[in-house]
């Protein structure tokens, strides 16, 4: 078994790049742990590895005592002297495990360590491969499709990774052997499941990288993608600008008769792509972001909120199916966008004015009432004799009434 183990470790070092010394350290630690586990943690043991002779030995370690109280950890002096005549009380006596007791434990442990070592090597190779490809597109071949959850196992050439159903473009279907482009969104070095590599075909980054790969002006840095947002399988909006006044950024992305953008649309299974011109002016930027609708006016209400005015026949186009066009425009620009027709805006303004006027009138009425009360109080304070006269008159009236009753 020992020679087979060393041969396996030599092969691991050669083919997987795992240090033989490192693996032997793992074997040593695993043997000690396994032996202690078999003895309920009550045994002390030492492992001796001789690489030159390709030999592994294990020794139980026991303290030499006059009277043995714990046979797992102690040995009597008489028995210790049978092993080595130089032992004295208090020494640690080492007892080599017999091959028949050691061989089974050694074989099982070595196998587990080797399997774990292979997994670690594959994990390390995967991390190394994908870290350099994070936020990049890679071409993979469909290897297997899970019939239950429709996750797709793809082969990148050096490893196999799952493209989850949630990361697939809605409505697309694959066959084993298909060549597909996937976007590496995340590489986790540490995970309960090992290194986790996340692939996606729904990420906005996939569209961005496709343009960067397909459009020479973007590769050269003449045209820059400023912002991009996407609802995969349906629509993408992308804002671009040009660093060269002689280069039209939209035209560069679309190409003559749409030839450039068509290859990207095909890769995305027919997904619509709106390429708009970026502007530092929020009014211009928001107007462009709502294309294909025509915008009449943009009213900036606050730093990141605005109202957009469109003609009635443009309202549904500006909002889009289930609000998609407005939603994507808001994400693209970072503005909260409220879209209205001119009539609706005027009606809203009229209601606001009516409300404010009513509130002002109500406030004026309350102010007048408060002023009258304050005036009466001030008059009473200035003319206390009038208040006394009124009170005396009231008392006389009361007396007179009583007199009439008496008559």
Q: What does the DSSP assignment read for 172-232?
A: ----TT-EEEEEEEEEESS-TTSSEEEEESSSHHHHHHHHHHH-HHHHTTSEEEEEEEEET
What value, to the nearest 5°, has the Cα angle with vertex 268 and ends 265 and 271? 65
Residue 253: what pLDDT? 97
pLDDT tens string, the chain, 407 residues long: the values are: 567 788 888 888 887 777 888 888 888 888 888 888 877 777 788 989 888 888 888 898 999 999 998 888 899 999 999 989 899 999 999 988 876 666 666 677 777 877 887 777 777 777 877 888 999 999 999 999 999 999 999 998 878 899 999 999 999 999 999 999 999 998 887 665 544 789 999 999 999 999 999 999 999 999 999 999 999 999 999 999 999 999 999 999 999 999 999 999 999 999 999 999 999 999 999 999 999 999 999 999 988 999 999 999 999 999 999 999 999 999 999 999 999 998 887 777 777 777 777 777 788 777 777 777 877 777 777 777 665 565 555 455 444 444 444 43
Regarding the domain delimited by 215-344, which CATH topology (the fold level of the hierarchy) does it fall under?
GMP Synthetase; Chain A, domain 3 (3.30.300)
Q: Give the three-state DSSP class for 84.
A: coil
Would you list the domain boundaries of the chain?
2-130, 132-200, 215-344
Angle, helices 2-15 vs 20-38, to 10°: value is 140
Per the document, the length of the chain is 407
Which alpha helices (H) appear in 66-219, and where do they start and end? 77-83, 99-131, 204-214, 216-219
Q: Which of 263, 257, 261, 252 lies closest to 223, judged by CA?
A: 252
Two tokens at 305? Answer: 């909120």
Cα(242)–Cα(250) distance, rounded to whole angstroms? 9
Contacts of 273 (CB under 8 A, 6+ apart): 207, 235, 236, 237, 238, 261, 264, 265
Residue 253's alpha-carbon distances to 219, 221, 227, 276, 346, in angstroms, are: 11, 13, 14, 10, 39
What value, to the nearest 5°, has the Cα angle with vertex 207 and ends 201 and 208? 130
Cα(77)–Cα(61) distance, rounded to whole angstroms? 14
CATH code for the domain defined by 2-130: 3.30.1480.10
CATH code for the domain defined by 132-200: 2.40.50.140
- Report phi then psi at 53, rounded to 5: -90, -5
Q: Which of 305, 313, 278, 276 lies closest to 291, judged by CA?
A: 276
Give the alpha-carbon dihedral of 308, 311, 313, 314, to 10 degrees. -30
Which alpha helices (H) appear in 160-289, and where do they start and end? 204-214, 216-219, 249-254, 259-267, 282-289
Q: Are 92 and 77 in contact (CB under 8 A)?
A: no
Q: Are 113 and 27 in contact (CB under 8 A)?
A: yes
Record the pTM.
0.66
């Amino acid at each position: 078994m020992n020679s087979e183990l060393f041969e396996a470790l030599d092969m691991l070092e050669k083919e997987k790049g795992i240090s033989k010394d490192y693996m032997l350290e793992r074997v040593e630690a695993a043997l000690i742990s396994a032996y202690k586990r078999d003895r309920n943690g009550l045994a002390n043991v030492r492992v001796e590895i001789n690489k030159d002779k390709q030999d592994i030995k294990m020794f139980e370690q026991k303290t030499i005592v006059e009277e043995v109280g714990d046979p797992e950890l102690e040995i009597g002096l008489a028995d210790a002297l049978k092993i080595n005549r130089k032992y004295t009380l208090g020494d640690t006596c080492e007892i080599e495990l017999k091959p028949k007791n050691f061989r089974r434990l050694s074989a099982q442990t070595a196998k587990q360590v080797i399997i774990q070592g292979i997994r670690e090597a594959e994990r390390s190779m995967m991390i190394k491969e994908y870290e350099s490809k994070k936020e990049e597109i890679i071409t993979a071949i469909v290897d297997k499709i899970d019939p239950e959850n429709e996750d797709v196992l793809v082969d990148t050439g050096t490893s196999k990774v799952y493209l989850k159903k949630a990361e697939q473009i809605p409505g697309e279907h694959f066959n084993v052997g298909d060549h597909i482009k996937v976007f590496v969104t995340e590489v986790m070095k540490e995970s309960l499941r090992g290194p986790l590599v996340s692939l996606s075909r729904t990420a906005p980054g996939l569209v961005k990288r496709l343009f960067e790969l397909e459009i020479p002006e973007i590769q050269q840095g003449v045209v820059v993608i400023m912002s991009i947002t996407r609802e995969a399988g349906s629509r993408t909006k992308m804002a671009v600008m040009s660093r060269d006044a002689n280069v039209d950024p939209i035209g560069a992305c679309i190409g003559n008769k749409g030839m450039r953008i068509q290859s990207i649309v095909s890769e995305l299974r027919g997904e619509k792509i709106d390429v708009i011109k970026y502007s530092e002016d929020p009014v211009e930027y928001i107007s462009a972001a709502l294309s294909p609708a025509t915008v009449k006016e943009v009213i900036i209400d606050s730093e990141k909120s605005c109202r957009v005015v469109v003609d009635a026949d443009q309202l549904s186009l500006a909002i889009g199916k289930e609000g998609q066009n407005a939603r994507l425009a808001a994400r693209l620009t970072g503005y909260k966008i409220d879209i209205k027709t001119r009539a609706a805006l005027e009606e809203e303004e009229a209601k606001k004015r009516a409300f404010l006027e009513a509130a002002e009138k109500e406030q004026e009425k309350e102010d007048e009432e408060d002023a009258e009360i304050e005036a009466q109080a001030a008059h009473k304070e200035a003319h206390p004799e009038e208040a006394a006269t009124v009170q005396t008159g009231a008392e006389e009236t009361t007396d007179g009434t009583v007199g009439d009753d008496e008559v």
